[in-house]
Amino acid sequence: MALQTQCTPQLELEAAIGFNGHVMSGLRVHPDREHLIYPLGSAVILKRIKDSKQEFLHGHTNNVSFVAVSKSGTYIASGQVNFMGFKAPVIIWDYATRTIYAELVLHKAKIEALSFSPSNKYLVSLGGRDDGSIVVWDIETKTPICGSEASSHISGHCLTVQYSNTDDNIFVSAGSETLRVWQLDLPNRKIRPTECKTGKLKRTIKCTEISEDDQFIFCGTTSGDIMKISLRAGILNGCGPAKVKFNAGINALRSLKSGELLIGSGSGTFGLCCSKDLVTLKKVQLENGVTSIATRGEGQQVFVGTEDAEMYCFSYDNFEAQLISTSHINAVNDVAIPFGTSELFATCSEENIRVWHIDKPRELLRITVPNMTCNCVDFMIDGHSIISGWNDGNIRVFGPESGRLMHIIDNAHALGVRAIAGTRSCKRIISGGEEGQVRVWELLSQGHYLVETMKMHKAAVTCIKVKNDDKEFISASLDGACIVWDMVRFVNIKIIFANTMFRTVSYHPDENQIITSGTDRKVAYWDMFDGSLIRNLEASQSGPINSIHMSQDGRFFVTGGDDKLVKVWDYMEGVVTHVGMAHGGSITSVKICSNNRTLVTTSADGAILRWKFPYPLLSS
């Protein structure tokens, strides 16, 4: 199956909305000062600062855990997490060709940190808690030179590693009550550590920064202070700020040639500090914890990444924050595109619904409901309202331009609303609940009322689709049944059973057939006349199919599921024509725009990807 996927033509990825903000020091500026480099799922993204054009480096099989850039900019190194017992590779990318230069496999489970030597000769890698080792690699020969346990038996886990700015044979490692300066002994293929003496100060160090002249190591701690250590002597030189420390610890440090330090804390404080006496000079408060600081030259710009997957840009002069990028931090549960337009789309996740511009992928509107999760979202066909179902059991209707709450249906379902759809008349909403009930609601100018409740499903209703004439609709459920309902008499017309837990259902445009998918990893075609099975396609080898969407002309459909692959299928032939491999998490929803030019997919890692759909609409 893997070979078949590689031989299938690849979907062209046009843009990605997302940023793994929880990756420490994940946001970087390339030395050419023209590109931002950051991880998203299993991909590394190069984004041109001038026009936001994106390029993608694909090669990892799981989420990227660290990104490093060589001093000359020739190489990019990225590490990933993997399942327990499996190796976690380090990939070195050739920046000029955007291709894999080397794949280094030695560590287990996770790559915690990476750092290049100043002359690009060596790369040092640090394994995660289940590995606990440091390895020095020769970049030219693509082989390991030597390795060692990262910390002694009496200290805690090592969390970060950084090379000297001038010496290829010296690097620093730090972590929980451990700070070591390592010397590379190349003739004997050994690395020899020297413990730094910090006196009575016992700290957990989350980040390190070495001054330009290699005199001092600055260590950001979970206690919210900075330790200043002499690199050559390995002795504590100072600790500060003395009075007001940084709340929630220091996550990121960057030294400037002017002798100042940029500091990012877990509470969202971004500050400027004097490196001599460690006194705070300036600071500004962001919404969420800072995880990355990247400088674009001296005196130009500073880019800051937060754990809320937001990117800010600062200028050195006024030190004011400019928000340049936003994205979801939790799983994106659903995506919706307004009928008849291909300019906007909406996504829903924990606590919020966001509306995005499709060509310039940027956030236009955010609707927030604190402490709640939106499970499903859709646009009414007239485009005048956004309907949504939430885990508190309420249905909320919002204005698509203002985000104002227009209607709320309290306690629509006892255990939460799982599926939602609007009729073409825009007067009724059909909802499916976690408890298995399907309900039809009539919207009035000053309220709403319950038209009917249907109770045939025995498990959560996962998908609802309405016919174009508003006389029938179909509901799919985890109980293994798809039920076709009469919209006038509110009785079931036919029931389709299968040995699966249905996740999604879609009408063919002529409405004589439907296609379904679920946990059996198959896509099934059904005849709407008698409910008989027409065809069964093997759609995945490794997980359920979570979403299906049909093109408007009915010639193609798209699937996405737990195998993290976006697949475009020929409806008549029943074969995969194109595959998209870029998601780092399970795909939760797929949608084709009405003009058949763009495909939008979302995943459990918070990523939203925009693909070029390979088959434009046939002209009438």
Residue 336, class by beta-carbon neighbours within 10 Å (0-12 exposed, 13-18 middle, 19+ buried)?
buried
Q: What value does the mean pLDDT take over residues 368-383? A: 94
Distance CA 487, CA 319 (A): 59
When pLDDT is cut at 50, 70 and 90, the band that residue 2 belongs to is very low
Residues with Cβ within 8 Å of residue 424, at least 6 apart in sequence: 381, 466, 468, 469, 470
Which sign does the torsion angle of CA 366, 367, 371, 376 carry?
negative
Contact 220, 236 (CB under 8 A): no
Contact 287, 263 (CB under 8 A): no
Ramachandran quadrant class, 487 (left: phi over 0; alpha: psi -120 to 50; beta: rest): alpha
Distance CA 466, CA 480 (A): 19
When pLDDT is cut at 50, 70 and 90, the band that residue 619 belongs to is low
When pLDDT is cut at 50, 70 and 90, the band that residue 529 belongs to is confident
Ramachandran quadrant class, 324 (left: phi over 0; alpha: psi -120 to 50; beta: rest): alpha
Quote the pLDDT of residue 47: 94
Quote the pLDDT of residue 6: 60
Residues 42-78 have pLDDT tens digits of 889 999 999 888 898 989 988 899 999 999 999 999 9
Quote the pLDDT of residue 5: 59
Contact 10, 578 (CB under 8 A): yes
Residues with Cβ within 8 Å of residue 57, at least 6 apart in sequence: 43, 44, 45, 46, 76, 78, 93, 98
Distance from the Cα of residue 178 to its chain's centroid: 32
Distance CA 455, CA 472 (A): 17
Contact 620, 20 (CB under 8 A): no
Residues 217-241 have pLDDT tens digits of 999 999 999 999 999 999 999 998 8
The pTM (predicted TM-score) of the whole model is 0.88
Distance CA 564, CA 391 (A): 25
Quote the pLDDT of residue 508: 93
Distance CA 128, CA 416 (A): 38
For residue 1, is pLDDT > 50? no
Tell me how many degrees the CA angle 227-232-235 measures, rounded to the nearest 5: 40
User: Would you call 5 helix, strand, or coil by DSSP?
Assistant: helix
For residue 204, is pLDDT > 80? yes
Distance CA 258, CA 275 (A): 9
Question: Is the domain defined by 60-195 classed in CATH 2.130.10.10?
Answer: yes
When pLDDT is cut at 50, 70 and 90, the band that residue 582 belongs to is confident
Q: Which residues pair with 496 in a beta bridge?
A: 482
> Domain coordinates of the chain in residue numbers?
60-195, 334-612
Q: Hey, what CATH topology would domain 334-612 get?
A: Methylamine Dehydrogenase; Chain H (2.130.10)
Residues 444-458 have pLDDT tens digits of 888 899 999 999 999
Residues 142-177 have pLDDT tens digits of 999 999 999 888 788 999 999 999 999 999 999 999
Quote the pLDDT of residue 580: 92
Q: What value does the mean pLDDT take over residues 487-502? A: 92
What letter would DSSP give residue 197?
B
CA-closest candidate to residue 167, choices 213, 228, 220, 217: 213
Ramachandran quadrant class, 597 (left: phi over 0; alpha: psi -120 to 50; beta: rest): alpha
How does strand 481-486 pair with strand 472-477? Answer: antiparallel
Distance CA 182, CA 237 (A): 19
Contact 342, 616 (CB under 8 A): no
Residues 288-347 have pLDDT tens digits of 999 999 999 876 789 999 999 999 999 887 888 999 999 998 899 999 999 888 789 999
Residues 24-43 have pLDDT tens digits of 999 999 999 999 999 998 88
Query: In this structure, what are the phi and psi dihedrals at residue 326, rounded to the nearest 5 degrees?
Result: -135, 160
Averaged confidence pLDDT in the chain: 92
Residue 377 CB neighbours (<10 A): 27
Contact 310, 328 (CB under 8 A): no
For residue 107, is pLDDT > 80? yes
CA-closest candidate to residue 326, choices 313, 344, 337: 313
334-612 shares the fold of 60-195: yes
Distance CA 161, CA 126 (A): 7
Percentage of residues of the chain with pLDDT beyond 90: 77
* Token duo for residue 52: 């936001």
Distance CA 156, CA 175 (A): 7
Q: What value does the mean pLDDT take over residues 87-111? A: 96
Q: What value does the mean pLDDT take over residues 426-431? A: 94
CA-closest candidate to residue 147, choices 178, 124, 165: 124
Contact 275, 242 (CB under 8 A): no
